[in-house]
Structure 1
């Protein structure tokens, strides 16, 4: 491809760069003409004479054929094909649309009752139409691409044009792999290094990043493959942000060191991970903080089958505990994590043998049951001599808990209380509660129940305990169960619409692995009753996230400015108990820790004796299913709790102010 074409000069470039609708209009006019010509040729061929319609009515009947043809072509998607790269797939689609056109027109002729159309006309009309439409497209190929041999375009394999971003070793290996693939055709490298600009690497030209947009448009590029090793998250985010406007599917490669064969294959390409959209480099964990409370110890993880619980189990396994007890109410979740960790144990053993090290002797214990079953929980902690508890068991889906407030409070608040009391009774060294940013000034039952669980732990710590209780609070975890990311991905794969509750809603995000690492490290720094807050970076607008995911899957957003887009976005309104913005802190009393991404926060503590009274009232209200009484207890105990008015039923008692308790909080 010459530099002149990329410069956009000349009428070819003007024609290629026309907006979509003018291009379609040109094709429609062309098709009206060639279909009319094909119909006239069919009659002339059948009657062996220069054909003229005998009457005006007959002429109007003939005129319906090209109109039907254009309509059929439109609904068959023929006008969405890129003419200059039409390929064999386009030929099949043209023939199918022509056959459908002839069948519909034949039905119109039959219903009109008009005589004088020989049967042979229908067959020859089909043949002439397919030929003329195809030849007109090939003429366009020759006109736009300057290809003198039409048969080359006609029998060109139907492959997607791709750009390789990065002309280094990884990019060259990927190019070699693409040459063996039937689905992709590499048409150029993009590389920011000045020394490579305009050069050819392995026979493929290297373009500067500023040429990217024009190259994508001129060559109808469908995919961009990122092939740069040792790319930081911020650098990758910048490249992804640069690619977003072009509606190309972006894929990337894992680190070459992570590839099983050490060589790159097309199968190694994966879609852009939503983590890459955060543009934030993870902070490497502190090995000492990770191992301090796990190596050689007996560890219990509640909610082990959930998103956070299962990731905690994976990371704990790699830190060589003496015993890992997985506690969960879900049989399916528990089975899956137990099976996965058993396989991981075999992998760790093989890895140890390979390096001449002793095999790790980790006892895996799955326990099926509820945290509310105090007898089962006691037996588990006592029999397995638990030294460290990570309490991740919770109901976390806001709308679901809002509809089932009693279940949410019983599981999240009283379940935490049960496990905390057992930990205290049997002298468990440390107890870490996995909490949420929704516990800060909550507007929903889920957040309030988690804040109350925090207060329970703080009160237990204040009341004197050998067990060191701590709380780790963070925001949304990417790709967890119920994650908006999973929902968006599924909606996009199904063709949309993607549903966003509000244009301005934003959330803090963190990867599951990073959140779990920070939970483990925070627990190692606890002194008793601490609340640790994870630095989640900048909040992300959910609307922006949805748009980025659509574009990076190579699709266009359907909106007023682009009615022909692929995926619409619908704004469905905030759900019950949902806030536009989440917070991680209640007050401003925050101090640093030895980890740069973990802060310690001082929240007000509810005195143990008063909290016990309120919990008794809450239990009575839950037992009697008195929603108004439940809300009243939460208002008194949880600072800033403002329930969703649409969910209140018969609420007739006034809210007591948190200020009245200001004299008895720390």
Structure 2
């Protein structure tokens, strides 16, 4: 039977409904004749009515198709459709009166009024009965999904009403945290405490849980959903009516807040101005061009009007995205965009790229920067960050590049992790290349700053992602604090520092005061419109969880080894005096690092950092060697 119902085309279904309504029309006439007890009997009056019956049936068909009565799906037959049926019955009553008058049948007007009322009732009842028959056929032909509804409020009861006519879903019961509803029946379904949900699921063979809690905050909904998913249940969330019609823009609430709002200070927003001429009309190479800092360097260099911008990137996807964006920005400017896919450790390729594109300025932002990943992969981090920097700097010097700027990190100062150690070694390489006695034409310098808000893998995007999943937000320690800048202001100052460099400077950016990470976590939660859940506020939305310091992580970062800051002509840029290694010491450190790489010996690589980086303290245990 189910297969036959499914095989019916839309046209055949409409034909069936038209035939049904025609039959109901005749039945309504018979009932009207009998109900009024007319002299002559029902058969006599019906035989006389046969003169106009074909016309009435034709009118019935025409009006039904015009109003779309025959096309209404049984599932959709509700109050508006009942009203439309009333109009249908009224039109047929009027038509019957007119036809009876024309044929001079002499029937009282009450017959036609009863006929219309009975026809209306029969049509409505027939639709309701047909729906139940079809649903029963569906239910017997396939297993139904048994659902438990979490939330017995208005939304939950409305959901039950909607699902009762669904062919595949059967609402079984409610669970609710409101003690006033527990033990009662809502929409003819029992309401249970949510604490007993595991027992209810097992007892009633629940397949799916529907969250009908639109007034509950998203984090709390996410927490409930995660708990139910762990029980092996499929969980779905029902939006509120306000969300469905767009009055409550829930997505906007989850949009990341601008990074600048977490600085707790004014952002450096000055244009490069006098520094722009240092890049205008030049051929500029940016390494790590697909990264957060590298891509922003490219955008701001474009504003300076270079002749050529060379994008050097190891990641194909990152290079593709950067190239597509920058080509649009450079459209109509005449600036040439050159995408290069490759590694800075490849000396042959680096030399070829610099020579073929007549590179005059190198902005070196390529680095492995994520502390835990570099800590777990020290050889890869050291080779890329240190040997890659040496390769790039040497080839830049040989080609007579005008300026070379290394983008460094505050983690290079007395580092406690391999990433920081690798950045300090890279600084030592650049300091060695900048020695006055080297007689090189290239101006080598470096700039050191702290964390960049909003960059890939940084703390704010991590917190916002944890917030979307309902928390908790993870902080390593209550006392952890970091320096922060937005990527835009960091790059502005980097380019300004590069323009004023004379050679050998270690530039340090003014980053304000360190920001406690716990305070930042609270800001992220509150900026999204939620509250922090802690001992003082147990009913809050999002919890902050402390996980302990990771290997190689410090409570606070420093910007200089000596603590001395020398002012420059820019109020937010300082330089500092850092002791450098001798040429022989740098050569020895690089040779030992290459030997560690060839031997694939992580312990040897850590020993290189331990020996040559001032203040290095690493808590990672050495690997056992046979």
Instruction: Report if TM-score (shorter chain) is over 0.5.
Output: yes
Cα 1:89/1:635, change in 2 over 3 Å: same
The residue correspondences of 1:313-462 to structure 2 (distance < 5 A) are 313-346=298-331, 349=332, 360-462=333-435
| Contact 1:391 1:433 (8 Å CA) reproduced | yes
**Any idea what the Cα deviations from partners look like across 1:263-301, whole Å, max 9, x if unmatched?**
xxxxxx966323212132223335334313210000000
- In the alignment of these two chains, the number of paired residues is 419
- Counterpart in 2 of 1:513? 488
| Contact 2:552 2:618 (8 Å CA) reproduced | yes
Q: TM-score, normalised by structure 2?
A: 0.62
CA distance in 1, matches of 2:372, 2:185: 60
Q: More deviation in 444-453 or 498-507?
A: 498-507
- Counterpart in 2 of 1:300? 285
SS of residue in 2 equivalent to 1:443? coil
RMSD: 3.5
| Contact 1:328 1:367 (8 Å CA) reproduced | yes
2:565 is the alignment partner of 1:499: no
CA distance in 2, matches of 1:103, 1:129: 7
Question: Aligned-pair distance for 1:497?
Answer: 1.9
Question: Aligned-pair distance for 1:556?
Answer: 2.4
Q: More deviation in 363-372 or 542-551?
A: 542-551
- Counterpart in 2 of 1:592? 567
- Counterpart in 2 of 1:637? 612
Structure 2 residue corresponding to 1:92, chosen from 158, 164, 186: 158
- Counterpart in 2 of 1:617? 592
Question: Aligned-pair distance for 1:579?
Answer: 0.8
CA distance in 2, matches of 1:129, 1:103: 7
Cα 1:104/1:613, change in 2 over 3 Å: closer
Cα 1:286/1:495, change in 2 over 3 Å: closer
**Any idea what the Cα deviations from partners look like across 1:584-607, whole Å, max 9, x if unmatched?**
111023201111111111110111
**Any idea what the Cα deviations from partners look like across 1:138-171, whole Å, max 9, x if unmatched?**
xxxxxxxxxxxxxxxxxxxx999xxxxxxxxxxx
SS of residue in 1 equivalent to 2:281? coil
CA distance in 2, matches of 1:102, 1:419: 67
Question: Aligned-pair distance for 1:568?
Answer: 2.0
- Counterpart in 2 of 1:76? 150
SS of residue in 1 equivalent to 2:579? coil
Structure 1 residue corresponding to 2:516, chosen from 514, 535, 541: 541
Question: Aligned-pair distance for 1:495?
Answer: 1.1
Question: Aligned-pair distance for 1:519?
Answer: 0.8
Structure 2 stretches of 5 or more lacking a match?
Answer: 1-146, 175-183, 191-213, 217-243
2:314 is the alignment partner of 1:311: no
Cα 1:159/1:103, change in 2 over 3 Å: closer
- Counterpart in 2 of 1:663? none
| Contact 1:286 1:521 (8 Å CA) reproduced | no
Question: Aligned-pair distance for 1:453?
Answer: 0.5
| Contact 2:308 2:336 (8 Å CA) reproduced | yes
Cα 1:526/1:651, change in 2 over 3 Å: farther
**Any idea what the Cα deviations from partners look like across 1:463-514, whole Å, max 9, x if unmatched?**
3321000101111111111111111111110111221111111111111111
Rg comparison, structure with higher value? 2
Structure 2 residue corresponding to 1:571, chosen from 530, 537, 546: 546
| Contact 2:475 2:546 (8 Å CA) reproduced | yes
Q: TM-score, normalised by structure 1?
A: 0.58
2:251 is the alignment partner of 1:276: no
| Contact 1:102 1:126 (8 Å CA) reproduced | no
